[in-house]
Amino acid sequence: MEKNIKVKIVCKTTAPELETILSDNNIEISDSPDIIIAYGGDGTALHAINISNKADKTIPVLAIRTPESLGFISDIDLEQFKSAIPSLANYKTKNITTLEVSINNKTQLAVNDINLSGTIPRSIKFNIYHNSTMLLKKVIGDGVIIATPLGSTAYNLSAGGPILMTNNICLTLNNPHSHKKHSYVLPISDTIILEALTTAEIVCDGRAQDKIDLQP
């Protein structure tokens, strides 16, 4: 490598095999990193991206898949990482579409999706506005998922939504009772307002610890 580079490891438990590779290549593990390495599956990668976004400056995230993990974001393994180490300092970044979510005057970022659902397993009622215009009124169902192109392959796909290949966002109703149209593909610049008419909660990227309860 042309310059010394510092990395931070984000993983569920420990990563001795990754630490050994870094040590053998004189790569410093630091809390003030140039790159964050997410070692695990897609959940670990999303957690690392969340850490990056909360830092004083955005830190690039490199997602490496562990042998027991499945990953769409984490699409390289340790062997591929080892072969790439000589050029690690010359990395290039790729920007991804994210959702800016404002809840009770608090803003969060979602990389995959946001999910409006009930606080217990039961149907909820809600309105959906698109650019301040009523789109769907008094929807009854399990909730609604709003997904990025990256997140369209996750919960959105499981709920019957489409896979997005362009810079759009997808709004997918989750088990609606009375609406025949299931999904809407919208431009990324649009604004969506979700109005809960019954008690509900919002979860960003499946982070249960960050869920926010909403009152009607």
- The whole-angstrom separation of Cα 90 and Cα 67 is 26
pLDDT band per the 50, 70, 90 thresholds, residue 94: confident
Q: What is the pLDDT of residue 114?
A: 95
pTM (2 decimals)? 0.82
Q: Identify residue 40 by its one-letter amino acid code.
A: G
- The question of whether 42 is a catalytic residue gets the answer yes
Which residues are 91's β-sheet partners?
A: none
Residues 6+ apart with CB under 8 A from 12: 40, 44
Residues 6+ apart with CB under 8 A from 72: 42, 150, 153, 154
pLDDT band per the 50, 70, 90 thresholds, residue 1: very low
- In 3D, which of 214, 181, 193 has the Cα closest to residue 131? 193
pLDDT band per the 50, 70, 90 thresholds, residue 173: very high
Query: In this structure, what token pair is assigned to residue 159?
Result: 């709920």
- In 3D, which of 76, 56, 159, 67 has the Cα closest to residue 113? 159
What is residue 159's DSSP assignment?
T
- The whole-angstrom separation of Cα 176 and Cα 182 is 8
Query: In this structure, what token pair is assigned to residue 169?
Result: 């966002």
Q: Across 73-77, 106-110, 121-125, 145-149, which has the greatest mean pLDDT?
A: 145-149
Please identify which of the residues 42, 113, 142, 205 carries the catalytic annotation: 42
- What 3-state class would DSSP assign to 119? coil
| Residues 149, 166 contacting (CB under 8 angstroms) | yes
